[in-house]
């Protein structure tokens, strides 16, 4: 159980374990998990539908996997050009050959749509506080070390969103565990992917120069990466105007005002009139109000309202919950501060905070409403930070929920109320 959460009993202050009866030929749990990933029949046939650019990248990467001499690639393509489609085709082929293909992404949401996908931080045991010269927290003998040594392919999606030091840490650790200190990533075939037009690494209160410096493109490893470019937008095939508009924004060529702001065309905006119903109009334009639609998990997770602020997210969630039928269940958090003898931070104040990675103090839920997991509880069984679920029932401190995305879709799980958030 500890292993499934990326931890080890030896890291806890307990008496030494007597290992004399342990067999040495035990196959590490990580290798068993990776080799038991089932290939989805739909994924197995994706390679037949690749477009020309995807096909070129697919063939080149697979040839490197077959030669076993290693290669480092960066799949570079604007949103919608089919990067994930390509990864899924690659993973299905490599898994289908009985080889190990380790799938990771910087965010949990992107990881959860790849079979066996885990966040890169969790899979590579990357330290949370990272600096130049850092290394990953796995050893040659650990399960993680063994699975990475055995991997024929390693994938890291959204690498454009991570700090270069995290990729450099993986590079150093891979050179170490493979005993090939002169070869980048120890001579493994490793595929990074992403789009530098989308979200860049987060540097708290960082200047533009600091953010650029944290990006993978500023790493010495960047020059070792073979660029595979995807340009054809497969998502907006029927709306070439939107695809081109997005690209112009990403490339910084769309017209801006003096403050660098872009004026959105009215055709893609929901008008914000002077009344208070702007948010309702936005919700109405995205979600049909009929109960049948809200009961359908596929419908619910195929659309989303995004906001840059946690307090706005909480406001929108409260309005959305109202639209679901049935009884409401409310879970409350118990907030307190350690080492606060003078009670400078009373619970009433703590309850108003909306920190990242924690649900609101008052968590309102209804049956059928979508939720997202905020912790890596059991990544091997689909319970990752970013896993999307729908509520099926309530218990006192846990929520009966069904996974609705990825290879564990349909599985019933029981996360506690402090580990989830309405979606
Ligand atoms: N060769 C293809 N044939 C048919 N559909 C495709 C193909 N490639 C991609 N698609 C579809 O296009 C859409 C966008 O693809 P995908 O999500 O893989 O893009 P992406 O580059 O990963 O986007 P983002 O950067 O936004 O995550 C998906 O619905 C996918 O199924």
Residues whose CB falls within 8 Å of the CB of residue 330, separated by 6 or more in sequence, listed in order = 362, 363, 364, 365
Sketch the domain layout of the chain as residue ranges.
3-235, 270-422
CA of 326 to the centre of ligand 1 (A): 36
Instruction: Kindly report, residue by residue over 254-313, the tens digit of the pLDDT.
Output: 999 988 899 889 888 888 776 777 888 888 888 876 666 778 888 888 888 988 888 888
CA of 83 to the centre of ligand 1 (A): 6
CA of 20 to the centre of ligand 1 (A): 52
Q: Answer whether 192's CB lies under 8 Å from 216's CB.
A: yes
Please count the CA atoms within 13 angstroms of the CA of 305 that sit on its side-chain side: 24
Q: Whose CA is nearest to atom 15 of ligand 1?
A: 82
Q: Answer whether 186's CB lies under 8 Å from 73's CB.
A: no
Q: Cβ-count burial of 411 within 10 angstroms (0-12 exposed, 13-18 middle, 19+ buried)?
A: middle
- pTM for the model stands at 0.82
CA of 236 to the centre of ligand 1 (A): 9
CA of 85 to the centre of ligand 1 (A): 5
Instruction: Tell whether ligand 1 has an atom less than 6 A from the beta carbon of residue 127.
Output: no
Atom of ligand 1 nearest to the CA of 54: 1
Strands annotated E in 136-243: 153-157, 189-194, 226-229
Q: Under the phi-then-psi rule, with left for phi > 0, alpha for psi from -120 to 50, and beta for the rest, what region is 185?
A: left
Indicate the top mutation candidate among 51, 75, 79, 85 to test ligand 1's pocket, ranked by most ligand atoms within 8 A of CB.
Answer: 85
Residue 16 has pLDDT above 60, yes or no: yes
Instruction: Kindly report, residue by residue over 173-196, the tens digit of the pLDDT.
Output: 999 999 999 999 999 999 999 999
In the block, tokens 């990242």 appear at: 356
The answer as to CATH 3.40.50.720 being correct for domain 3-235 is: no
Task: Pull the structure tokens for residue 265.
Answer: 């065309």
Instruction: Tell whether ligand 1 has an atom less than 6 A from the beta carbon of residue 84.
Output: yes
């Amino acid at each position: 159980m500890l292993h499934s959460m990326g931890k080890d009993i030896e890291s806890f202050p307990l008496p030494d374990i007597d290992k004399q009866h342990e067999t040495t030929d035990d196959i590490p749990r990580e290798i068993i998990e990776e080799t038991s990933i089932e290939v989805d029949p739909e994924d197995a046939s994706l390679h037949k539908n690749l477009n020309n650019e995807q096909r070129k990248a697919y063939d080149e990467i697979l040839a490197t996997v077959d030669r076993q001499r290693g290669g480092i690639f960066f799949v570079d393509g604007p949103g919608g050009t089919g990067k994930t489609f390509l990864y899924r085709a690659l993973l299905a082929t490599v898994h289908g050959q009985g080889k190990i293909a380790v799938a990771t992404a910087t965010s949990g949401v992107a990881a959860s749509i790849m079979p066996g996908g885990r966040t890169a931080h969790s899979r590579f045991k990357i330290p949370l506080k990272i600096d130049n010269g850092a290394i990953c927290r796995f050893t040659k003998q650990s399960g993680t070390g063994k699975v990475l040594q055995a991997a024929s392919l390693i994938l890291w999606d959204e690498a454009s969103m991570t700090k270069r030091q995290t990729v450099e840490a993986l590079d150093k650790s891979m050179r170490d565990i493979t005993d090939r200190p002169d070869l980048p990533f120890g001579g493994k075939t490793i595929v990074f992917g992403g789009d530098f037009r989308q979200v860049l690494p987060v540097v708290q209160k960082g200047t533009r120069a600091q953010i650029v410096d944290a990006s993978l493109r500023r790493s010495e490893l960047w020059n070792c990466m073979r660029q595979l470019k995807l340009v054809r937008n497969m998502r907006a095939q029927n709306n070439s105007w939107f695809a081109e508009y997005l690209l112009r924004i990403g490339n910084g060529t769309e017209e801006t005002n003096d403050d660098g702001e872009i004026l959105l065309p009215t055709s893609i905006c929901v008008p914000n009139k002077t009344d208070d119903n702007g948010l309702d109009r936005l919700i109405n334009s995205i979600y049909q109000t009929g109960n049948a639609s809200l009961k359908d998990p596929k419908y619910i997770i195929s659309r989303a309202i995004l906001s840059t602020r946690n307090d706005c997210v909480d406001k929108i969630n409260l309005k959305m919950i109202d639209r679901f039928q049935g009884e409401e269940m409310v879970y409350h958090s118990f907030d307190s501060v350690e080492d606060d003898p003078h009670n400078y931070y009373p619970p009433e104040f703590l309850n108003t905070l909306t920190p990242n990675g924690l649900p609101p103090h008052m968590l309102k839920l209804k049956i059928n409403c979508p939720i997202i997991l905020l912790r890596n509880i059991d990544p091997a069984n689909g319970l990752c930070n970013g896993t999307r679920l729908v509520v099926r029932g309530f218990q006192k401190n846990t929520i009966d929920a069904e996974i609705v995305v990825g290879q564990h879709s349909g599985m019933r799980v029981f996360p506690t109320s402090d580990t989830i958030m309405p979606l």
